[in-house]
């Protein structure tokens, strides 16, 4: 972004028609995802009576591809057609979601979530490339905040909606909704004309091919991160925030069932408040991050995450549990939005 260039607002970014379609695709696919994930956790916890270890395995299967392959997936996605990667990820995830309809034990969820997590790990960097190609540099922060706010809004709406759907139509209805949401996302992305920004790696490693080229690109990426202290810190903080939200939210189901001795209703409220904290954080961070150093928000977010976890560990009160969930969501927003905007801006400069 050029010094002094004004940051585009939400309306300005959404006037970019391809960006708006990508935003709509994010809305429908994430709503389906959160509805299905809540249905899985509610079914495993309150119907299958899954143990904390089994619920943890649900989280591990969903988050493991991101934790292990997330740092290198971008290297591969940068070599693939962006639109085809996005559409293929949606279609394969739709097919995997059909398998949820036939799950009769907690273990049946593991391979399906592992596959969906892997495809989501490929989808995310491809979506980042699409955003960089569709939005000017001065709109990247706003576009990133828009995408994150969709995540937050769906996290709020998902548990409440899923609770109603599970009670009236059953969990399988939620799984079917997830399948159709991926199909709708693919249909929205299909008409987009995504032109990949010029890749520096292709100039630097043009003579290399195959695995050698992938290795050279990965080495260049790791070298860039290791030689930029701010970027290294942000990448580590982003990983910690992703891990925290990925593990914290599912285990709330077991906490509500075994510690608070409550049922699905409180679990839905707690999950929605995590999303509420995320939404409030995104709304407050976006305008401030345009004027203040991103590292300040990252440090604040890490401190709030620590406070939320300590609060949850020191109480068995439902009210304080809901407060801890809200703080967790707010803290994650303070870490994720400035971190992702900084990484995207660095990619554009590189």
Residue (of 332, 79, 110) closest to 212 by Cα position = 79
Q: Are 317 and 262 in contact (CB under 8 A)?
A: no
The per-residue pLDDT for 170 is: 84
Cα–Cα distance for residue pair 210/321, rounded to 1 Å: 51
- For the stretch 45-48, contacts whose Cβ atoms lie closer than 8 Å and that sit 24 or more positions apart, written own/partner, are 45/253, 45/254, 45/257, 45/267, 46/253, 46/257, 46/263, 46/264, 47/171, 48/105, 48/106
Per-residue pLDDT reduced to its tens digit, 216-273:
655 666 666 666 666 677 777 777 777 777 677 678 888 999 999 998 888 888 888 8
| Weakly modelled stretches of the chain, pLDDT under 70 | 1-6, 71, 75, 155-156, 159-160, 196-231, 246, 249, 289-290, 340-350
Helices 294-313 and 318-349 pack at an angle, to 10 degrees, of: 160
The per-residue pLDDT for 201 is: 42
Q: Are 308 and 328 in contact (CB under 8 A)?
A: yes
Measured CA distances, 207 to 44, 199, 201, 203, 237 (Å): 51, 14, 11, 9, 35
Cα–Cα distance for residue pair 207/205, rounded to 1 Å: 6
Q: What is the 3-state secondary structure (H, E, C) of the chain?
A: CCCCCCCCCHHHHHCCHHHHHHHHHHHHHHHHHHHHHHHHHHHHHHHCCCCHHHHHHHHHHHHHHHHHHHHHHHHHHCCCCHHHHHHHHHHHHHHHHHHHHHCCCHHHHHHHHHHHHHHHHHHHHHHHHHHHHHCCHHHHHHHHHHHHHHHHHHHHHHHHHHHHHHHHHCHHHHHHHHHHHHHHHHHHHCCCCCCCCCCHHHHHCCCCCHHHHHHHHHHHHHHHHHCCHHHHHHHHHHHHHHHHHHHHHHHHHHHHHHHCCCCHHHHHHHHHHHHHHHHHHHHHHHHHHCCCCHHHHHHHHHHHHHHHHHHHHCCCCHHHHHHHHHHHHHHHHHHHHHHHHHHHHHHHHC
**Beta-carbon count within 10 A of 88 CB:** 17
Per-residue pLDDT reduced to its tens digit, 78-118:
778 889 999 999 999 999 999 999 999 999 999 999 999 99
Q: Say how many Å lie between the first and final Cα of the chain, rounded.
A: 12
Structural domains of the chain, with CATH: 15-195+210-349 (1.20.1250.20)
Cα–Cα distance for residue pair 138/24, rounded to 1 Å: 21
Full-model pTM: 0.72
The per-residue pLDDT for 93 is: 95
């Amino acid at each position: 972004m050029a010094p002094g260039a004004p940051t585009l607002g939400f309306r300005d970014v959404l006037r970019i028609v391809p960006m708006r379609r990508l935003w709509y695709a994010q809305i429908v696919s994430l709503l389906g995802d959160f509805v299905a994930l809540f249905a899985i956790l509610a079914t495993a916890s309150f119907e299958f009576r899954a143990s904390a270890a089994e619920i943890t395995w649900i989280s591990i299967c969903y988050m493991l591809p991101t934790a292990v392959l997330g740092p290198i997936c971008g290297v591969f996605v940068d070599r693939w057609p962006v639109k085809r990667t996005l559409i293929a990820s949606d279609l394969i995830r739709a097919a995997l979601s059909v398998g949820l309809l036939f799950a009769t034990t907690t273990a049946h969820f593991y391979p399906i979530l592992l596959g969906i997590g892997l495809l989501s790990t490929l989808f995310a960097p491809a979506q980042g490339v699409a955003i960089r190609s569709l939005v000017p540099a001065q709109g990247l922060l706003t576009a990133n905040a828009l995408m994150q706010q969709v995540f937050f809004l769906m996290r709020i709406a998902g548990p409440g909606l899923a609770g109603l759907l599970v009670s009236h139509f059953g969990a399988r209805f939620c799984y079917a909704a997830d399948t159709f949401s991926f199909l709708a996302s693919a249909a929205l992305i299909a008409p987009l004309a995504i032109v990949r920004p010029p890749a520096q790696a292709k100039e630097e490693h043009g003579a290399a091919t195959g695995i050698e080229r992938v290795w050279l690109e990965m080495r260049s990426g790791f070298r860039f991160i290791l030689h930029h202290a701010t970027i290294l810190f942000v990448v580590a903080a982003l990983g910690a925030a992703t891990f925290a939200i990925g593990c914290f939210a599912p285990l709330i189901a077991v906490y509500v069932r075994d510690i608070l001795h409550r049922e699905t209703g409180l679990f839905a409220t707690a999950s929605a408040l995590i999303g509420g904290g995320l939404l409030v954080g995104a709304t407050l961070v976006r305008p401030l991050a345009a004027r203040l150093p991103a590292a300040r928000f990252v440090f604040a977010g890490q401190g709030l995450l620590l406070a939320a976890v300590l609060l949850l560990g020191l109480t068995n009160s439902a009210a304080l549990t809901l407060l801890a969930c809200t703080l967790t969501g707010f803290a994650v927003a303070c870490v994720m939005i400035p971190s992702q905007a900084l990484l995207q801006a660095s990619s554009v400069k590189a």
